Amino acid sequence: MIWLRLYDPGRTPAHWSEMVRPGQYAVFVADANSRAPRDADGQPFRDAGRAETAACAALCEGLAEAKQFALDVVMRHPELCCEVYDHEGKSNPPLQTIYNPAERHKHVGSRHGRRLALAGGTLAGIGATLALIDLSRGFAWMWGYILGLKCMVVGGTLLTVGLLEWYAHRGERDRRR
């Protein structure tokens, strides 16, 4: 496993994805909540101009090595997650996203889906209420209608994503028993 700068103008090729051969895997470490890139110690990359602090990924020779590296990172730092990509790079979804097993439920699964659905439903309800109040007053407070529509769009999106995730993982608890 080697650390590879994502972009290095002094290197040929300059972009990381052109260096990964079939059979190799790139592991990206990120904050599990915000998905902000991190190093293996959980520290954010600060200055892209300096080699020691530029954004990097771990380049592994096999999938087993990539999974083991990712598991080691998330076990040391539960607030992180790792995404494993093959030689095709980030043009496709990650082959696997690895979380600390004790923290995984916060980011994936039926409990996460329920939280998203609840937040989305609440936000959509608030938006609908604001829009209806403004509509009943003949759009006297135009901000209520505008803000209400925005809340309904964001809330509806969260509600849909949450329900889909909840549905996809609905038997998760039963399978673990």
Say which residue the tokens 């999974």 belong to: 67
Residues 6+ apart with CB under 8 A from 68: none
* Greater model confidence, 45 or 79: 79
**Per-residue pLDDT tens digits for 16-41:** 878 888 999 999 999 988 888 888 88
Q: At residue 176, does pLDDT exceed 60?
A: no
Rounded distance, CA 82 to CA 107, Å? 12
Residue 87 and residue 91: Cα distance in Å, rounded?
10
- Both tokens of 99, joined, read 């979380």
Mean of pLDDT over the chain: 86
For the chain, the domains span 2-104, 110-169
pTM: 0.68
Q: How does pLDDT run across 63-86, given as a tens digit for each residue? A: 999 999 999 999 999 999 999 999
d(CA 99, CA 67) in angstroms, rounded, equals: 11
pLDDT band for position 51 (cuts 50, 70, 90): very low
Give the pairing type, strands 80-85 and 25-31.
antiparallel
Partners of residue 101 on adjacent β-strands: none
Handedness of CA 157, 164, 166, 91 (dihedral sign): negative
